Structure 1
């Protein structure tokens, strides 16, 4: 039985998509069968794995509409053991279209629940907002990874996200767990980076992953080649950080 993990934070630019793509690829390299679902209208996870967004005919939008089955949307990627359900810019419209639907928060859950039998891990790359798309992802997920940037405004908005998670637990998905808080974009030379790490570890203790994702040029270059960091430069600091995170998650879920 697989596990569905949403990667969420309503703040943009904290490393959600970078984490989704590279964690998925690293879990695949470690011989886990992985499905990545792109639930962000910007479709960066889709293009980051080398898929031309313009050619996407069936993706997350059709899944949420229930006009296509999940199996029809799955695309094999170049990365070992990694499949993706892509996104397209048309996903922008889904929030408006779902507003009047009954059980609108459960659309994704209904569409992907059965996939847990086919994959070890299903990762959902969420949009940078707390709208209906993210709500669908949190309702469908078993747990959530929250990337936190090691910068000044890091903790701003975290309380809001944790409150959203609490209300999802109360109303839509009582089994939703926090898989962990992931510190990203860490630069050991900056005092501020170190202060954020200390602050987060002090407040959240056991909830924080031991792995910290460091700032790494190769990590920001990889998506422009449509590759995960492990395919682009397996010897880079970014690749070793995400492999370490993948190991940590596998160990946690044994």
Structure 2
């Protein structure tokens, strides 16, 4: 079988550009798949979001077995009730967010926990079509190569839980002076309530919307467990 020749001076600019882009795509695919496979077994050491945080960052990687089930169920109740049911994307939530955002006001997302994990681990914060496209690619990869339990484990270790605080273990220690293994439903719910806006939503002394949202999440924890909406994490 003949191999594609490298571009030479005799090739036109279109050929040289196509050859370069083809190589770039192959390298990107190989590196992205390789990195996802590594992080299936190895904790991500740091993320772009952590490095870019002007307040610095505090984190403490903790295996899922050392995180209270209340925290897992609070994350599902507050962020992604269909976590165990979808393949990484929730079309209904995305459509609702699109409609709300067209009406103006505060921009809301329809991202699943899988999408948030892909963004937090491999990409950067902010919008844009490039970031969204890469987020979709990495979401497909982690759904295929990690599975739900690993996605939840990584999410709860990289999600920002306060100013300069990343992961629920660091959050539990900061706010409650206890490990994430011993969080009560209310404590876990208040951490989950801060996930969308961790720099402005106070976990301790929460008031207004944050307090109400946290109470609502705490009330739904029993529903998540009773309906086995966390069944893909605890089998």
TM range (shorter): under 0.3
Larger Rg: 2
Q: Going by fraction, where is strand more abundant, 1 or 2?
A: 1
- Scaled by the length of structure 1, what TM-score is found? 0.25
Higher helix share: 2
Query: TM-score if structure 2 supplies the norm length?
Result: 0.26
